[in-house]
Every structure is written in structure tokens, then in C-alpha cells.
Amino acid sequence: MSVLRGLVIFLGLIVAWQALVWLTGVEPYILPGPLAVAGALAARWSLLAGHAGYTILEILLGLAFGTLLGAASALLIAAFRPARQWLLPVLVVSQAVPVFALAPVLVLWFGYGLASKVAMATLIIYFPVTAAFTDGLRRTDPGWLDLARTMGGSRLAVLRVIRVPAALPALASGLRVATAVAPIGAVVGEWVGSSAGLGYLMLHANARLQVDLMFAALFVLAVFAVLLYFTVDRLLRLALPWQAEQS
Amino acid sequence: MDEPQRRDIAAETGAPVAVHLHAARLSYRGAVVFEGLDLDLPAGRTTCLLGPSGVGKTSLLRLIAGLADSEDGGALPGAAVDQAGRPVHDRVAYMAQQDLLLPWASVLGNVLLGPRLRGEHRQPEIARRARGLIAQVGLKGREDDLPARLSGGMRQRVALARTLAENRPIVLMDEPFSALDAITRFALQELAARLLAERTVLLVTHDPLEALRLGHRIYVMAGSPARLETALDVRDGAVDLPPPPRDPGNADVLARQADLLKRLARAREEMPELP
């Protein structure tokens, strides 16, 4: 049913797009119709696939590093009280600086290759993961903590056995947000300076007025982002079956 | 209970422990909940604590459990001690009104929570004992189920098994059956009385009948600051009640229930604000 609904929404948007092009008679170099984009998609498929693979790799690596770093920071904050006092301000500052403004610096430091984009994606993913997991770790049911205290568990044992599992649903919602924003990090990084990737391809297609190719790249990126989100969402549901049963 | 089982418990938990609380004081947001309060829990007996909501029953139980934090961060006056004067807070098992089961852990995992926290859960002896307790509370075959698959009564049975798995001489229970329907509650009172015999139990409840079914001694907590009145003590020569768990149809139990209800109604009128 949900697949059918998704398909209807998708086709509806395509039809609306085509209708807009026909009704306004807009020039193809401003807004190409879906048929022209489909043509570009078919004709330049291998070029698009190569660049898409590069961007996907950046996104996946960024997700992995951002999640690992974010989860580790949240654990550190939960395990050691001084860590909270020292790390939280750093965290807030890291978000006060717009990540887009940092992109040129990252390219300067890490070069035009993969590393600067992965750094960018990592940075943009780090905050939602850390914030959500920290929040979850702070919201342990006080009843469980009382119980653990009478049972005589050490602080670390309580963290491992009770607080971390209890915070996993919060971490999962952080991961969902991170998955949604990860492509932004990678593509912005590519716009600022790169030699490959969908963002790079779009920039070049734009400069050469290959607007249909540009839209084809955008389409590939959007399809991947949606697929990634639903895959992650599905995996998280499978990993935390008790969460669904609880609600 | 038969004789071998009785010896079992004595061998497992050692001699029964009496609990004494002397001149206990607790304040909450500047208001004194109680002060100069004395409480005795006889060794190997069940003591019930009745009283209106908000009078401080739970605070008193938490004080004995070592869960009460003083507002100024200092030591709390009147820590509970045993007959030899040693603190008891590290020898209590605690059971709350909510079952406090971990939703991601199986029935067995929940019963083994204490051993896991202390790093003892890999000892085969402890796991074997936990399975035995699950069978004793009537949940044999459900060891691998998640709590979400159990009814409210079953969940509280798991909580009871987890409390027993701690194998502590003192058991503190804060309205453990009050969220259950009447029939389930009746069955669980029976079960708890059987499994907790020979341990020193403090049961906080708002149900006079529950107190009369299970208690060797009953205190009514009333007033502000709160004081304790003894409402039943089986050591009195005047008491001719059968040992717990008592039949709720017993004429003496019913007469005392009516008496206790009136007493609680008076205690409630003493509260500064009626909840």
C-alpha cells in the first residue's frame, strides 16, 4: 500500500512537472521537461553512475564517521561528568559556525579529493547524532536507576546494561536526521571544490548549459537520498524491535 | 511452606535481619516530611505501612533503601541499621509499583538484571537459580519472551522473581500490586507471601485488606510531620489472627479492615491539603 502511494506521488510530481513545462512554454535551458531529463539520464548513464558512485561513497563514509564520533562523544559525556562540562560548549560552538562557511577551509585542508567531502558530511552528521544520543542517555527512567542502585551496580555497569540500551531509540532518531542531511554535506563540499561527484557534475553541466544533464544528476541524487533514508529507517526498526512493541 | 524450603532460604540469606530506624528526619522542599521517627521491622516478618497519599510512606521506604538524598547533600540522619548496628541499605531488594522491566531484555534477562550489573550473570549456578525462580512465579516456558508480550500480572511476577533473584534478607516493596486488577492482585499476594516468608519485608500499601492479609505488623502513618501508629502486632496476646497469607473472608480480618479504613479516613483528614 505504501509502495503504491509512493508511486502515485512520484508519478503525480512528474505529471505536474511536464504540465508546468507545457503550460508556461518555458525554454528547455531554464527548465527541461521530464522527457528531456529521462533522455539525458539514458544517454549519459555511465557518466552519471560513475559520479554517483563517488558521491555515494562520500555520503556513506561520512555517515559512518559522523555516527561513530557522535556516539563516542555522547558516551563520553554520559560516562564522565567533567566531559559534559567541557564537551558541550564545543558541541554548541561547532554548530554555531555554519558548516557551509567551513567548506572552503575543509577543501583547503583536505584537498579536492574524497577526504574534504567526507569531513564535511561527518561534520554535518556529528551534531544530530551526538545531541540525540546525549539526550537519550540523560533521560533514563529514574525508576531503573533506583533499582540499579539497590542492586549495587557500578556507574559504568549501569551505563552499559541500562542507560545505553534505553537510549538506542533516541540514537536511532538522531541517525534518521543524520541520514537526511548527509547528502547535503557531500554535495556542498563538491560544489566548493572537487574533481568528481554529482555536485561536481551539476556545476559543470550548469556552466555548459547542459541543463538536462544537471537535472538528471539531481534526480539520481534525490532517488539515492530517499532510498538511503528508507533503508536506514528499515534497518533501525529491525534492530530495535522492542521499541515498536512498546508504543 | 514445607520444612526443607524454609531451611533453604535461611541457608541462602543467612539469619533473618531486623531493621531499626531511629530518629529519622526527612524534609522535602523545605517542609518537614517526618522527624524523630522510629521504625522497627521485626526479623523474618512482614511489616505493612498504611497511610494517606502524600504522607511520606514512599520517602520512608526509600530512606531505608538508601535511595533518599538529603536536600543539602549531607548525610541523612537516621540511616537504617540491623540488630548489630550495621547499615542495611546494601542488603535490600527493592520492588516498585511499576514493574520496571527493561523492554529490550527477555524475562530471563530481566530476572538476571542484578547479577548482570554486578558481573555475576555468567555463573551457571546463578542462571539456574533464576530459571528456578521464573518457574516458581508460574512463568516456566516464557523465559525468552519480551515484557511487551506479557500481561500486567505476568510482568509483576517477573518483577517479583527479579526481586527474589537478588536474594537479600530485606525486601522493600512500594505498592507492588496496586496497578493490578483485584483477582490478579489476590493471586500475587498469595504468591508473594509464600515466596517471601522468612525474609524481613516492608510493604507500603494503601489497601487495608492487603496489609491485613500479609502483615505480621501494621503501621499507620499519619500527620504532618508524619508519625507512626501501630495498628496490628501479632506479638500482642490480643491478636488471634491466622498466619499470613490470611483468608480475606476471615471475620477478624474483615472487622479489622473496617477499623483500619476508619482510621485511614481520619488520617487523611489530618493532611494539610486533601489530594
ipTM at complex level: 0.87
Domain that holds residue A178: 52-240
Q: How far, in Å, are A45, A67, A92 from residue A188 at the CA level?
A: 23, 19, 22
Q: How far, in Å, are A9, A168, A170 from residue A136 at the CA level?
A: 35, 7, 5
**Who contacts B5 (Cβ-Cβ below 8 Å, separation ≥6)?**
none
- Looking at the structure of chain A, the number of domains it has is 1
C-alpha grid cell, residue B147: 515484557
**Who contacts A207 (Cβ-Cβ below 8 Å, separation ≥6)?**
none
Helix (H/G/I), strand (E/B), else coil: B221 = strand
Contacts 24+ apart (CB under 8 A), A168-172: A168/A136, A168/A239, A168/A240, A168/A243, A168/B104, A169/A136, A169/A240, A169/A243, A170/A132, A170/A133, A170/A135, A170/A136, A170/A137, A170/A139, A171/A71, A171/A74, A171/A129, A171/A132, A171/A133, A171/A136, A172/A236, A172/A239, A172/A240, A172/A243
Distance of alpha carbon B195 from alpha carbon B172, whole angstroms: 14
pLDDT at B33: 84
Domain assignment present for B27: yes
pLDDT tens over chain A, length 247 residues: 678 898 999 899 999 999 999 999 888 888 899 999 999 999 999 999 999 999 999 999 999 999 999 999 999 999 888 888 888 888 888 778 887 888 889 889 998 889 999 999 998 999 899 999 999 999 999 999 999 999 998 999 999 999 999 999 999 999 999 999 999 888 988 988 888 999 999 999 989 989 999 999 999 999 999 999 999 999 999 999 888 644 4
Distance between start and end Cα atoms, chain A? 22
C-alpha grid cell, residue A11: 508519478
Helix (H/G/I), strand (E/B), else coil: B94 = strand
Q: Model confidence at B29, in pLDDT bands (50, 70, 90)?
A: confident
pLDDT in tens, A146-172: 999 999 989 999 999 999 999 999 999
Domain assignment present for B111: no
Question: Which residue of chain B is at minimal alpha-carbon distance from A165?
Answer: B104
Helix (H/G/I), strand (E/B), else coil: B230 = strand
Domain assignment present for A24: no
Q: Is A31 within 8 Å of A20 (Cβ atoms)?
A: yes
Distance of alpha carbon B184 from alpha carbon B191, whole angstroms: 11
Cβ neighbourhood burial of B111 (10 Å; 0-12, 13-18, 19+): buried
Q: Rounded to a whole number, what is the distance in Å from the CA of A147 to chain B's nearest CA?
A: 7
Q: Is B6 within 8 Å of B198 (Cβ atoms)?
A: yes
B66 contacts on A by Cβ (under 8 Å): 149-150
Is A242 touching B (CB cutoff 8 A)?
A: yes
Residue B133 has pLDDT above 60, yes or no: yes
What CATH number is associated with residue B186? Answer: 3.40.50.300
Cβ neighbourhood burial of B27 (10 Å; 0-12, 13-18, 19+): middle
- Max distance between CA atoms of chain B, in angstroms, equals 54
Domain assignment present for A222: yes
Is B154 touching A (CB cutoff 8 A)?
A: no
Domain assignment present for B155: no
Q: Is A74 within 8 Å of A134 (Cβ atoms)?
A: yes
Question: Which residue of chain A is at minimal alpha-carbon distance from B171?
Answer: A150
Domain assignment present for B127: no
Domain assignment present for B113: no
B94 contacts on A by Cβ (under 8 Å): 146-147, 150
Is B66 touching A (CB cutoff 8 A)?
A: yes
HSE-CB of A26 using CA atoms within 13 angstroms:
14
Judge: A242–B146 Cβ closer than 8 Å, yes or no: yes
Q: Is B171 within 8 Å of B64 (Cβ atoms)?
A: no
Strands B170-174 and B92-95: parallel
- Selected residue of B62, B88, B98, B102 to mutate for chain A interface (largest A Cβ count, 10 A): B102
Distance of alpha carbon B130 from alpha carbon B73, whole angstroms: 37
Domain assignment present for B172: yes
Judge: A158–B117 Cβ closer than 8 Å, yes or no: yes
pLDDT at B4: 46
* Partners of B173 in the β-ladder: B95, B203
B166 contacts on A by Cβ (under 8 Å): 150-151
The interface residues of chain A toward chain B in range 24-63, judged by CB-CB distance below 8 A, are: none
pLDDT at B273: 65
Q: Is B115 within 8 Å of B166 (Cβ atoms)?
A: no
Q: Rounded to a whole number, what is the distance in Å from the CA of B253 to chain A's nearest CA?
A: 33
Domain that holds residue B223: 3-102+168-270
A158 contacts on B by Cβ (under 8 Å): 117
H runs (alpha helix) in B85-239: 107-111, 113-117, 124-136, 152-165, 182-196, 208-214
Q: Which of B105, B119, B148 sits opposite A246 (nearest CB)?
A: B148
Q: In the block, which residue shows the cell 476508619?
A: B262
Phi, psi for A156 (deg, rounded to 5) = -70, -35
Domain assignment present for B130: no
- Looking at the structure of chain B, the number of domains it has is 1
The interface residues of chain A toward chain B in range 90-149, judged by CB-CB distance below 8 A, are: 141, 143-144, 146-149
Question: Which residue of chain A is at minimal alpha-carbon distance from B97?
Answer: A143
What CATH number is associated with residue A154? Answer: 1.10.3720.10
pLDDT at A197: 93
